[in-house]
């Protein structure tokens, strides 16, 4: 178990946690250069490549834009959040972005993209959700302007949008030339758009437990294929909570707290015998239970959204997910043009 020690030992711990067993040796190597890495949250995506968030934040015509461009980028990825989301959620708090939030799934998508040499552009919607009128034009202009300004216009452009962001990306794709797109937990706007045959290949990453959406996605895959457009799906299924899940996926949430939370959820009957969530995190009264339990959660308010997101993810009805990033980036990579 983790001893509450220095920040350094926490960092070592978090690096070790972010590693798969086969590359634990690489991680040990990383530990030796920890002083160089100090102060950042790192993820080791594949052998020898480590990446951290160091984004630039700008207001462009009152629209919040946060981005990061790795050396020798090979493509540009536009990420669109869901309702109640913001660009801030994709980025860890850092010197350049002290108000960034770094939600566990969003941050891993951005980190994985950067490690794979995608320049990452995130934009906040004006309202709670994306709107499909004027906002489409505004975002289109910002993407075009940003790509030109950063000399990235020659690179392939791809997009991933979740939920409201998925609808938005599906519509934006009729106006901007994307190499391919990923619609996460969203069926898209296809019935209401004029889809031409040059519409980009579309991958649906979704949670079939949401049966209504599952059916609409199946219809839209057929709709696109009939028009000769490559359309595929990846299904995300529920998985059990484990005592160390929250510590593994939320930087800064320690192992002891993670175990206590797991035990609380178990004792309160929020999970079944196998550890699966009985309800969506949003419908589980876990925050009330936490308050009554006396379990101390350091920086409580800071982690509420992070924990809630992981509970929703485990239940797998409607949540952003980074668990399919390998397949998602394979999709982007095999549809570059």
Ligand X SMILES: *[C@@H]1O[C@H](CO)[C@@H](O)[C@H](O)[C@H]1NC(C)=O
Positions touching ligand X (CB under 6 A) are 60-61, 141-142, 145
* Minimum distance of ligand X from residue 62's CB (angstroms): 9
* Minimum distance of ligand X from residue 145's CB (angstroms): 4
Q: Are 216 and 185 in contact (CB under 8 A)?
A: no
State the Cα–Cα distance between residues 114 and 95, nearest whole angstrom.
18
> Any idea what DSSP says for residue 210?
S
Between residues 142 and 261, which has the closer beta carbon with respect to ligand X?
A: 142
- Which token pair is 65? 């834009």
* Minimum distance of ligand X from residue 135's CB (angstroms): 12
State the Cα–Cα distance between residues 97 and 103, nearest whole angstrom.
14
* Minimum distance of ligand X from residue 146's CB (angstroms): 7
The three-state DSSP-derived secondary structure of 173-198 is CCCCCCCCEEEECCCCCHHHCCCCCC
- Which token pair is 336? 């570059």
* Minimum distance of ligand X from residue 179's CB (angstroms): 22
Between residues 133 and 294, which has the closer beta carbon with respect to ligand X?
A: 133
- Please state the φ and ψ torsions of residue 229, each to the nearest 5 degrees: -100, 130
* Minimum distance of ligand X from residue 131's CB (angstroms): 16
Residues 6+ apart with CB under 8 A from 154: none
Between residues 38 and 145, which has the closer beta carbon with respect to ligand X?
A: 145
* Minimum distance of ligand X from residue 137's CB (angstroms): 9
State the Cα–Cα distance between residues 82 and 75, nearest whole angstrom.
23
Between residues 45 and 142, which has the closer beta carbon with respect to ligand X?
A: 142
Between residues 88 and 142, which has the closer beta carbon with respect to ligand X?
A: 142
Between residues 9 and 56, which has the closer beta carbon with respect to ligand X?
A: 56
Between residues 6 and 61, which has the closer beta carbon with respect to ligand X?
A: 61
Secondary structure (DSSP) of 127-180: SSS--SSHHHHHHHHHHHHHHHHTT-TTS-EEEEEETHHHHHHHHHTTTS--S-
Burial of 311 (0-12, 13-18, 19+ CB in 10 A): buried
């Amino acid at each position: 178990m983790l001893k509450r020690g220095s920040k350094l030992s926490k960092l070592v711990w978090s690096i070790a946690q972010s590693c798969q067993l086969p590359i634990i040796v690489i991680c040990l190597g990383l530990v030796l250069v920890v002083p160089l890495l100090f102060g950042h949250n790192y993820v080791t995506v594949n052998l020898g490549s480590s990446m951290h968030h160091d984004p630039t934040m700008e207001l462009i015509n009152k629209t919040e834009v946060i981005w990061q461009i790795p050396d020798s980028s090979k493509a540009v990825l536009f990420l669109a959040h869901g309702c109640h989301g913001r660009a801030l959620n994709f980025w860890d708090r850092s010197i350049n972005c002290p108000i960034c939030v770094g939600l566990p799934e969003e941050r891993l998508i951005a980190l994985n993209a950067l490690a794979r040499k995608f320049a990452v552009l995130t934009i906040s919607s004006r309202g709670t959700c994306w709107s499909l009128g004027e906002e489409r034009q505004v975002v289109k202009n910002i993407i075009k302007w940003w790509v030109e300004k950063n000399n990235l216009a020659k690179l392939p452009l791809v997009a991933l949008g979740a939920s409201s962001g998925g609808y938005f990306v599906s519509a934006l794709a009729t106006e901007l030339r994307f190499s391919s797109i990923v619609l996460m937990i969203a069926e898209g706007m296809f019935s209401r758009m004029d889809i031409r045959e040059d519409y980009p290949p579309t991958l649906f990453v979704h949670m079939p437990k949401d049966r209504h959406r599952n059916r609409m996605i199946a219809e839209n895959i057929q709709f696109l294929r009939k028009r000769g457009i490559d359309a595929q799906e990846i299904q995300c299924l529920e998985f059990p909570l484990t005592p160390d899940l929250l510590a593994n996926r939320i930087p800064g949430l320690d192992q002891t707290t993670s175990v206590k939370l797991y035990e609380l959820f178990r004792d309160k009957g929020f999970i079944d015998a196998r550890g699966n969530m009985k309800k969506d995190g949003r419908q589980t009264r876990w925050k009330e239970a936490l308050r009554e339990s006396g379990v101390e959660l350091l920086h409580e308010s800071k982690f509420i959204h992070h924990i809630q997101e992981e509970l929703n993810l485990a239940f797998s009805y409607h949540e952003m997910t980074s668990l399919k990033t390998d397949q998602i980036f394979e999709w982007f990579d095999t549809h570059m043009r």
